[in-house]
Structure 1
Amino acid sequence: MNSLPSVLITGASSGIGATYADRFAQRGHDLVLVARDRSRLEALAARLRDRYQVAVDVLAADLTQADELAAVAARLRDDTRIGVLINNAGAARSGRFIDQSSESITGIVTLNTLALVQLANAIAPRLAQAGEGAIVNIGSVVGLAPEFAMTVYGATKAFVLFLSQGLSLELAPQGVYVQAVLPAATRTEIWERSGVDINSLEAVMEVAALVDAALAGFDRREPVTIPPLQDGAHWEAMQAARQALLGNIKQDQVAARYLLAAEPAR
């Protein structure tokens, strides 16, 4: 029996998820692969079993469908072999907010936030009780940048970062590691699905480089890993500025700038 924890990966049929599957299989972990496309999952599982001699289960599921999401959550709650969750499934849409349909917005928000938080919630209590395990949530640098004009997608990724940071503070004392990974533009199918020509982008990171950097952060137990960030001091400075801002908030006092008497109407 494999002494290493099994790893459940969502969005595992291609791109970042499939590369995570390869890397964890290479490390000797058994896998549970989750995505909508069963045929692609089966093909990937066969390759990984043959190449690395690990056990690979396939769980085809559309995480925007409540019953299929519930089935994956149940697997996370009940399968004590699973000690690592890679919350990778996600979607994006290009175009202005006012041009997007309610159905499109609901689909992105459901997959990028509701499914992610429900899967984390399914496994976290068991990991906390065991005193070990890890949850990796794939966010995006877009969640830091409303200027990038991907309002709904960026908002969902800001949620992922906040959730991950909060969970890290809560669960780290109980032995559970939580990592937020924030890619920038990466060569995956998400661009084509969102209506963006990837060849129109000035610079794109290759998936293997992204995942290998994310795993370096995982091994170092970084709470937040931003593979394309060249100077980590900038992240530390932003965190310090945020803490300073919080320290300047006086909960029972209105700031003086809001107490200035209004000029009389002329």
Structure 2
Amino acid sequence: MAAHPTVLITGASTGIGAAYAERFAHRGHDLVLVARNVARMEAFAARLREQTGVAIDIIAADLTQPTDLGVVETRLREDARIGILINNAGTAIGGSFVEQSTDDAARLLALNTTAVLRLASAIAPRLAKAGKGAIVNIGSVVGLAPEFGTAVYGATKAFVLFLSQGLSLELGPKGVYVQAVLPAATRTEIWEHAGVDVNTIPGVMEVGELADAAMVGFDRREAVTIPPLPDVEQWNAYEAARLAILPNTSQEHAAARYRTAS
């Protein structure tokens, strides 16, 4: 693998994916950009090539479609130059759970979870064998907070976090770095998909600042990066509380508090 491995980025035509593409290109990495909007990707890639001189390939793909997803999986399995996967593609839908159609929710799951899983699965064996590389999965702080009222979207992002942590434990000892990035509200087109005016939301982070912070976490090899979180000790305490529960969850008998009817 070259000193600067090629980076494959999904959802790369705009928003967080495009910001990642800019930053890796300026670091000298060749890119493979994956998204549905070919015209936008072509224009974006032309600008990046002129600015940085890196090689950029484009794959037009709708990752909710098995055939398109398969094309990207094959590229990840077979192209040994690709050493970093940015699993960024995702979407949201508006309304409450009872208002959302089952078909819309299923499409959300296909993009936000199935595609993330399949692409990570496609590249992980090759990276583990090589003993190097990275998988970055873009989650959300919503995955920590059912109180935000986005049950399906939040569940997909909880999946991304759990998958990332599990892969980090499995692949880290083999030399593969896995990072979960958990943005909060960020100024991207995802709000339009959910029918929300982003300008009505307080505390929205600009996408460039989000990407810069995520890259700092990447360079530090953080397992979980939460760009807007001021105090990392809050996350450390959250993790410590979770770990403290685990020894008490494997018991032969039900806890005493469940042995009475009242």
TM range (shorter): over 0.9
AA of the residue aligned to 1:230 = P
Distance 1:253 1:143 in 2: 31
Partner of 1:178: 178
Label 1:173 to 1:2 Cα distance change in 2 as closer, same or farther (>3 A).
closer
TM-score, length-scaled by structure 2: 0.98
Task: Please tell me whether the aligned partners of residues 10 and 17 of structure 2 are also in contact (alpha carbons under 8 angstroms).
Answer: yes
Equivalence for 2:29? 29
Q: Considering only aligned residues, what root-mean-square deviation do their CA atoms show, in Å?
A: 1.0
Asked if structure 1 preserves the Cα contact closer than 8 Å seen for 2:94 and 2:193, the reply is no
SS at 2:222's partner residue? coil
Unaligned runs of 5+ in 2: none
Q: TM-score, normalised by structure 1?
A: 0.97
Q: Show the 5 A alignment for 1:1-266.
A: 3-260=3-260, 262=261
Alpha-carbon distance in 1 for matches of 2:255, 2:130: 46
**What are the superposed Cα offsets for residues 154-193 of structure 1, whole Å, 9 maximum, x if unpaired?**
0000000000000000000000000000000000000011
- Cα pair 2:2 2:81 within 8 Å, conserved: no
Q: How many residues matched?
A: 262
CA distance in 2, matches of 1:113, 1:3: 31
Task: Give structure 1 stretches of 5+ with no counterpart.
Answer: none
Give the conservation status (yes or no) of the 8 Å contact 1:2–1:29: no
Q: Give 1:248 shift.
A: 2.0
C-alpha separation in 2, matches of 1:169 and 1:216: 21
Deviation at residue 200 of structure 1 after TM alignment:
1.0
Give the residue type in structure 2 aligned to 1:136: V
**Residues 38/251 of structure 1: CA separation in 2 closer, same or farther (3 Å cut):** same
Question: What secondary structure, in the 3-state scheme, does the structure 2 residue paired with 1:97 have?
Answer: coil
Higher mean C-alpha displacement, 215-224 vs 244-253: 244-253
Corresponding residue SS for 1:42: helix
The list of structure 1 runs, each at least 4 consecutive aligned residues, that deviate by more than 6 angstroms after superposition, is none
1:2: how far off? 5.5
Residues 26-76 of structure 1, C-alpha deviations (whole Å, 9 max, x = no match):
000000000000001111110110000000000010000000000000000
Structure ID, larger Rg: 1
Alpha-carbon separation, structure 1, partners of 2:250 and 2:159? 25
Q: Provide the identity percentage.
A: 66
